[in-house]
Amino acid sequence: LLQRAREAALRENTSVNALVRDFLGRYVEARSRRIEALDQFEAVARGSHSASQEAWSRESLHERC
């Protein structure tokens, strides 16, 4: 894996350290965005007042009214 990273760094005219730093930065940013989106979704879900009292079935979800 390290050899392949060195080859990739060489092709991109950078260092393995820079590749790892870039990858980790993108990973952390993406993870933060996912967590924020989930938090927002949960806030909306807590604030909604669903009239549904029973679990939905596959058939009921596809019924035509």
Q: What is the pLDDT of residues 14-33, one digit of tens each?
A: 999 999 999 999 999 999 99
What is d(CA 61, CA 63) in angstroms, rounded to the nearest whole number? 6
Cα 17 versus chain centre, distance: 25
Do residues 5 and 16 make contact, with C-beta atoms less than 8 angstroms apart? Answer: yes
Percent of the chain at pLDDT above 90?
68
38: pLDDT strictly greater than 90: yes
The pLDDT of residue 65 is 62
Q: How far apart are CA 50 and CA 12, in angstroms?
A: 53
Concatenate the DSSP letters of all residues of 31-49 into one string: HHHHHHHHHHHHHHHHH--
